[in-house]
Structure 1
Amino acid sequence: MNLSPLPDYTHQLQQLMQRVGVLSFKALSRSAGVSERQLMRLRRGQIMQMQVENLVKLGQVLQVSLEELLATFSDRQISWTEKTGEASPALQQEYQRLQAQMQSQRQSLMQEFQLSSLQVLESWLIQWPTAAYAAGQNPQLPAVKLLPLLRPVEQLVQQWGVEAIAPVGTELPYDPQQHQLMELTAQPGDRVKVRYTGYRQGDRLLYRAKVSPV
């Protein structure tokens, strides 16, 4: 009895890998978090036996859509609505659920990254505006030439939604929730001057502004 040979999609997979600079199946397995056994299924044309979650991960690393994966690694052209017949709505729902879950994970990871980065930048965030204010008051200082070099960092934290509570040198009513006294005492509402700016990100207070009574 003659057995039909298993289809081999290794070349197609290698082409997609080369396009995104993935050099080996082991590297693809590690980047996507998908076992090499699952990759072997893909290479043998057994894509319909793979979990949608694994296909989504592979698609993200290879920068192709799920539909393109199905069209590339199946023995016939299958549209998203036809590929599983009556099971298609359930598969679509699972795919959408996974997409939403991965989007939520990305947002959570981005928030963690921003928070850890802001902790590293804490001393710079607090000290730099005061140094920049002092340099701006005296244009003869050599340090004033450095001010434009730090603008990209300022723009980056602004893109993360980080906002200064008030510029250095600003006089405003004392608010113990947002201000930290550096010296003497003050009552809420008393005039104080910002010596070191504080920051908030959305509704979250990162650092209170350091102030002193006027």
Structure 2
Amino acid sequence: MSESALPDYTYQLQELMQQAGISSLEELSQIAGVSPLQIIRLRRGLALQTSVSILLKISQGLKISLTELLTVFAPGSVSGETASGSDLEQEYQRLQTQMEEQRSVLLEEWKRESLHILESWLLQWPTVVYRVQENPQLQAVKLLPFVRPVEQLLREWGVEVIAPVGAQVPYDPHLHQLLDGTAQVGEQVIVRYTGYRQGNKLLYRAKVSLVKTPSS
């Protein structure tokens, strides 16, 4: 069958995207976690040649049920309580169970990977604490290598510091929390406690104080 002979459900797709607050095909692709090609196949009437797992992701992205999706893009394939509708519901439940199992597996893998990164710290840190308690005069600089696995783990998670302690930066109330006093946006402040962000998400604001200038 040539591409021109395929049905075109562009209008129906646009209506569903509008109802879901999605402005573009690329945005739907990201939300649903499928490639734009899979959505184009759906739009050109190839729903029944697409795997149920892909259809399920697209239906969730559009905030409709799998049955509603097929009613729009594969008219006649689902009708009331027919056997095909029952089979579809069973497949949906099976996929839901499968996804829950996959989440559990991924969580366990994430835990194992995190423990692997932290292995040297887990094995050595209790001994370091014991040595420090025995010898309070131990130079703190010698302890710095032992926290590197923790720093590596944060990097693996995409967690970044906003600014290092001691850095002088322009004050930004969205990123910084004043310890005392007031400051104007852009005024120089010094970081006392670092803050963190993960991608575009702010985790903790950095705690800052005003840079003291010599009195005239």
Q: What range is the shorter-chain TM-score in? A: 0.3 to 0.5
TM-score (norm 2): 0.43
TM-score (norm 1): 0.43
